């Protein structure tokens, strides 16, 4: 067997455990500086040279090209966190990295990995049980939940306005049904919420109607044209009448396509692909609105909102495939030259849209990402009706509880439980460090406040001092999932003593 790193193998310089700890710490270090409201951004440059400036841990980890299998496992923690909670990705990775760092010292003291795993699991159980006791009902806190989720992102400057949009969308729709449309070229304060659907497209031909009342919507993910012959195919006509006959036939076919769609009752047509000018011309003459090259995500959003079926062959359209809504109209905005398409009065009352404006494209997309997360976070806080204090407060509270518990554990597992308690402090410590405070002093102050029974105390990143005003809050689920996910992954990695690289399968597929 080649490529084996064995923790127990004699003469091996670096064991699998050491390699795994290094990998976990590296990933945590990569995102460390972005944690919290004063966290720095990263500039991500893709292979084709396009740039993303972001503070979002999940976006960073999704983009970096990482091949080490253990590092990839840590990234999985972030992915799971994002999928379930929309937020807390950086925290989960930093905590997982810190658990692995603590492991290093425990292993050096000669504690067996299985013992460490047992201690960590006991500690996590205790920590999460304590989290339940400091959880509160959401009440009127949704706005603060949205603001907490957005602080530190570029969305923060217009935070109050954007938070209100988030709350409106998240209390009406599930995050999947919130359509966020992003457009540069106008101030962020122009961003708005609407309970219908918005598509960033405009009509194909000027003579098409600007608005359609009583809209019947046909959606296609195919081209509305006759199939063209493959490239390089030559046609030779020996008789000019044949050539014009061919062209006539093509025209008739195109007209049939248009007529079939109109006959189905459609008066609004959107296609993900191209629409032939001849087809569009028939639409325009019949006062049918049409837009082409609509983004797949927009097409799906309209389908959900209007109860339409997306059709893949123009001639297959039937009345039952059409969606409906009160009206479809193009609206123009002062500073943004191109109009937007609005679907008003849609039958699916669970759909909503947020239109995000920002002066530049990078900013618009970063705000779009921040809103996407914030809507999810607010939705969770609303649905679970369970919130905890942010700013590392819940982590500190859990840490103290676990420390207390450690004394009762005894034996070698006690060291692992103590190490777990220490690892929990990494979140408040990193938050303090990232806003230029001394982590040691801040942790001391915070510990004292919590020990005195102030379960909501946190280090306010902007004041640089202790606060307990309960405006920095996050859903309990965000903290719970991060702690659980990081612990599970750390334990899984700890049990590995051997990394074996699979060889190429042989002729028997073995
Ligand atoms: P994550 O990817 O883990 O969500 P963020 O960079 O979004 O990382 O930072 C989130 C952390 O910042 C949370 O622990 C949150 O409670 C904390 N936080 C937000 N606002 C403040 C604030 N004003 N003061 C201190 N901490 C804050
Ligand atoms: Mg966050």
User: How do residues 306-315 score in pLDDT, each as one tens digit?
Assistant: 999 999 998 8
Side-chain-side CA neighbours of 148 within 13 Å: the count stands at 27
Q: Which two tokens stand for residue 122?
A: 């006991």
Summarised one tens digit per residue, pLDDT across range 340-393 is 899 999 998 888 999 999 988 888 888 998 899 999 999 999 999 999 999 999
Residues marked active site are found at 56, 89-90, 373
Say if residues 409 and 439 touch (Cβ distance below 8 Å). Answer: no
CB 77 within 8 A of CB 489: yes
Range 490-509 average pLDDT? 77
499 has pLDDT over 80: no
67 or 122, greater pLDDT: 122
Q: Give the confidence band of 170 by pLDDT, cuts at 50, 70, 90.
A: very high
For residue 399, pLDDT over 90 is answered with yes
HEC string for 452-503: CCCCCCEEECCCCEEECCCCCEEEHHHHHHHHHHHHHHHHHHHCCCEEECCC
Lowest mean pLDDT among 4-18, 284-298, 401-415: 4-18
For 411-418, what is the mean pLDDT? Answer: 91
What is the structure's pLDDT at 294?
93
- Strand, coil or helix: what is 404? helix
Q: What is the predicted pLDDT for the residue at 9?
A: 52
Q: What is the pLDDT of residue 462?
A: 84
pLDDT given for residue 509 in this prediction: 65
Give mean pLDDT, residues 430-436. 91
Residue nearest to atom 2 of ligand 1 (CA): 90
Pocket of ligand 1 (CB under 6 A): 34-37, 39, 57, 87-91, 148, 151-152, 390-392, 431, 458, 460-462, 472, 474
What residues have their beta carbon closer than 5 A to ion ligand 2? 87
What DSSP line would sit under 284-341, residue for residue? HHTT-EEE-S--HHHHHHHHHHHT--EESSGGG--GGG-EEEEEEEEE--SS--S-EE
**Nearest ligand 1 atom to alpha carbon 373:** 4
Average pLDDT, the chain: 87
Distances in Å between the alpha carbon of 363 and those of 56, 324, 367?
13, 34, 6
Of all ligands present, the nearest one to the C-alpha of 152 is: 1
Sequence-distant (≥ 6) Cβ neighbours of residue 109 within 8 angstroms: 415
The residue whose CB lies within 8 Å of the most ligand 1 atoms, and thus the one to mutate among 74, 134, 390, 393, is 390
Report the percent of the chain where pLDDT is more than 90. 52
Q: What is the pTM for the complete model shown?
A: 0.82
Mean pLDDT confidence for 447-476: 88
Q: What's the confidence (pLDDT) of residue 334?
A: 72
Checking if the pLDDT of 224 tops 80, the result is yes
Strands 178-184 and 352-358: parallel
Distance CA 156, CA 367 (A): 9
3-state class of 8 per DSSP? coil
What residues does 329 pair with on adjacent strands? 211, 342
Distance 432 CA to ligand 2 centre (A): 16
The Cα–Cα gap between 84 and 376 comes to: 9
- Give the H/E segment covering residue 53: strand 51-54
Give the C-alpha separation, 417 to 414, whole Å: 5
Q: For residue 328, what are the β-bridge partners?
A: 212, 343
Whether 3 shows a pLDDT value over 70: the answer reads no
What is the C-alpha separation between 14 and 6, in angstroms, rounded?
9
- Chain position carrying tokens 């044949």: 242
Q: What is the mean pLDDT of residues 439-466?
A: 89
Distance 274 CA to ligand 2 centre (A): 39
Ligand 1 atom closest to the Cα of residue 58 is 2
Residue 27's pLDDT is what? 84
| CB-based burial, 199-233: b 16+ in 10 Å, e otherwise | bbbbbbeeebbeebeebbbbbbbebbbbeeeeeee
Among 33, 34, 37, 371, residue to substitute to test ligand 1 (most atoms within 8 Å of Cβ)? 37
Which residue has its alpha carbon closest to ligand 1 atom 25?
391
* Pairwise CA distance, residues 262 & 283, whole Å: 8
Going by CA atoms, what residue is nearest to atom 13 of ligand 1?
A: 391
Q: How far is the CA of 286 from the centre of ligand 2 (A)?
A: 50
Is residue 117's pLDDT more than 80? yes
Quick check: 297 pLDDT over 80? yes
- 295: Cα separation from own chain's centroid: 18
Question: Quick one: average pLDDT of 100-120?
Answer: 92
Q: What mean pLDDT comes out for the span 248-260?
A: 90
C-alpha 323/C-alpha 264 separation (Å) is 12
Local confidence band at 494 (pLDDT 50, 70, 90 cut-offs)? confident
Q: What is the mean pLDDT of residues 220-225?
A: 90
How much is the pLDDT for 218?
95
- What backbone phi and psi angles, to 5 degrees, belong to 244? -70, -30
Looking at ligand 1, which atom is closest to the CA of residue 56?
2
> pLDDT value at position 2?
42
Q: Can you tell me which atom of ligand 1 is nearest the CA of 427? A: 14
* The pLDDT of residue 332: 83
C-beta atoms surrounding 285 within 10 Å: 13
**CA 281 to CA 207: how far, in whole Å?**
9
* Residue 53 banded pLDDT, cuts 50, 70, 90: confident
pLDDT tier for residue 11 given thresholds of 50, 70 and 90: low
């Amino acid at each position: 067997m080649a490529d084996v790193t064995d923790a127990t193998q004699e003469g091996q310089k670096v064991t699998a455990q050491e390699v795994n700890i290094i990998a976990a710490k590296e990933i945590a270090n990569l995102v460390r500086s972005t944690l919290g409201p004063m966290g720095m951004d990263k500039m991500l440059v893709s292979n084709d040279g396009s740039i993303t400036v972001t503070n979002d841990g999940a976006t960073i980890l999704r983009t970096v090209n990482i091949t080490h299998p253990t590092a990839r496992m840590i990234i999985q923690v972030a992915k799971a966190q994002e999928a379930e909670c929309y937020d807390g990705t950086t925290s989960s990775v930093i905590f997982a990295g810190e658990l692995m760092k603590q492991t290093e010292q425990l292993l050096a003291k000669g504690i067996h990995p299985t013992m460490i795993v047992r201690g960590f699991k006991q500690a996590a159980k205790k920590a999460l049980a304590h989290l339940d006791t400091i959880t509160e009902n959401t009440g009127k806190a949704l706005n603060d939940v949205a603001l907490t989720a957005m602080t530190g992102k570029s969305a923060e400057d217009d935070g109050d306005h954007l938070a209100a949009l988030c709350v409106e969308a998240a209390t009406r729709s599930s995050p999947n049904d919130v359509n966020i449309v992003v457009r540069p070229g106008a101030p962020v304060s122009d961003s708005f919420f609407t309970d219908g659907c918005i598509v960033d497209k405009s009509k194909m031909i000027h003579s098409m109607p600007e608005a359609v009342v009583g809209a019947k919507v046909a959606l296609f993910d195919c081209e509305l044209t006759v199939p063209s012959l493959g490239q390089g195919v030559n046609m030779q006509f020996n008789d000019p009448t044949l050539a014009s006959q061919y062209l006539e036939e093509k025209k008739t076919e195109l007209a049939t396509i248009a007529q079939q769609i109109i006959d189905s009752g459609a008066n609004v047509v959107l296609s993900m692909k191209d629409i032939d000018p001849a087809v569009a011309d028939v639409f325009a003459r019949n006062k049918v609105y049409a837009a082409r090259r609509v983004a797949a995500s927009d097409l799906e959003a309209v389908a959900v909102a209007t109860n339409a079926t997306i059709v893949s062959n123009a001639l297959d359209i039937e009345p039952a495939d059409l969606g409906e809504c009160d009206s479809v109209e193009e609206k123009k905005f002062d500073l943004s030259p191109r109009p937007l398409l609005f679907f008003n009065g849609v039958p699916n009352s669970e759909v909503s849209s947020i239109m995000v404006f920002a002066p530049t494209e990078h900013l618009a997309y970063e705000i779009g990402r921040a809103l996407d997360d914030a809507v999810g976070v607010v939705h969770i806080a609303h649905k679970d009706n369970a919130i905890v204090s942010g700013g590392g407060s819940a982590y500190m509270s859990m840490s103290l509880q676990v420390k207390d518990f450690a004394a009762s554990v005894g034996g070698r597992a006690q060291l692992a439980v103590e190490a777990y308690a220490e690892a929990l402090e990494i979140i408040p410590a990193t938050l303090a460090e990232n806003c230029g405070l001394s982590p040691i002093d801040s942790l001391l102050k915070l510990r004292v406040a919590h020990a005195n029974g102030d379960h909501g105390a946190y280090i306010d990143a902007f004041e640089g001092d202790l606060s307990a005003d309960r405006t920095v809050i996050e859903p309990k689920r965000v903290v719970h999932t991060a702690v659980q996910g990081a612990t599970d992954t750390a334990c899984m990695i700890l049990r590995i003593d051997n990394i074996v690289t699979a060889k190429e399968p042989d002729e028997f597929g073995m």
